[in-house]
Amino acid sequence: MLEIRNLKVNYGRIAALQGVSLQVNEGEIIAMIGPNGAGKSTMLSAIVGQVKPAAGEIVFKGRSLVGLAPEEIVGLGVALVPEGRRIFTTLTVEQNLWVGATVRRDRTEVRRDIEEMLERFPILKKRYRGSAGKLSGGEQQQLAFARALISRPSLVLCDEPSLGLSPMMTQAVFSILERLHQEGRTVLLVEQFAAQAVKMADRTYVIRTGKIALEGSKQQMLGSAELKAAYFGVAA
């Protein structure tokens, strides 16, 4: 579904990504882990058109995404659950959900999908007419997931969805991801809790200093000394 080939992204003179290649197959959950500043969020930003690559290809369902506007990429079926949730705190929960439907024209179907999201996330149904800014961090994360799913994406990108959440809400986030997996959705997950991400993912990429340091299946990664070495940059 997604293939990234030799992707390079620079911030001025700083090389954030240095020739990264990876692929995501339909129905997979792929984890991308690594230390802070490794380039994980930059990768997602490049996929959704928020930053322009210096070189390389990003191909989604056979079509290049390089040079497309973010709204075009969403329209093709790629949705981002951003780091820090980035909901519109001055809008209601209802209005935030409709923001997720911006690229759609089938308003009747959108309403049905919103109803489905309210059943999936009962707290959003309870707070539907209220200010999104009054939701807790965990509730806002549920809204961020629902807003992304409203666009009916083929590929869901999740950037540090457990960041800043309590242990209980972190488990709730992983339960959401597990349900998406069971539904056959395709997910590219950037996550700080590496061990939990590896256990959930079909395959994992470890990124370090803008390069892929290690990749492998769940079976290859679990209990691997190479995983620790790649993540922390020390000899196995």
Q: What is the dihedral of CA 197, 203, 209, 210, to 10 degrees?
A: -120
Give the per-residue pLDDT at 233.
65
Give the per-residue pLDDT at 84.
79
Note down pLDDT in tens along the chain; length 236 residues: 999 999 999 999 899 999 999 999 999 999 999 988 899 999 999 999 999 999 999 999 999 999 999 999 999 999 999 987 889 999 999 999 999 998 888 889 999 999 999 999 999 999 999 999 999 998 999 999 999 999 999 999 999 998 888 888 889 899 999 999 999 999 999 998 888 899 999 999 999 999 999 999 988 888 777 887 777 665 54
What SS3 class is residue 73? Answer: helix
Cβ atoms < 10 Å from Cβ of 153 = 21
Q: Could you tell me what percentage of the chain is helix, strand and coil, using 3-state DSSP and rounding each to the nearest 5? A: 40, 25, 35
Residues 156, 185 contacting (CB under 8 angstroms): yes
Closest listed residue to residue 138, CA positions, set 114, 160, 164:
164
Bridge partner residues of 57 (DSSP): 5
Give the per-residue pLDDT at 236.
45
Residue type, 41: S
Closest listed residue to residue 100, CA positions, set 108, 115, 90, 110:
110
Can you tell me the distance from the alpha carbon of 31 to that of 134, in angstroms, rounded to the nearest whole number?
Answer: 31
Q: What does each C-alpha distance from 102 to 74, 127, 147, 151, 163 come to in angstroms? A: 9, 21, 10, 8, 26
> Domain-by-domain residue ranges, the chain?
2-232
Give the per-residue pLDDT at 234.
56
Return the CATH number of the domain spanning residue range 2-232: 3.40.50.300
- In this prediction the pTM is 0.90
Looking at residue 110, the DSSP 8-state letter turns out to be H
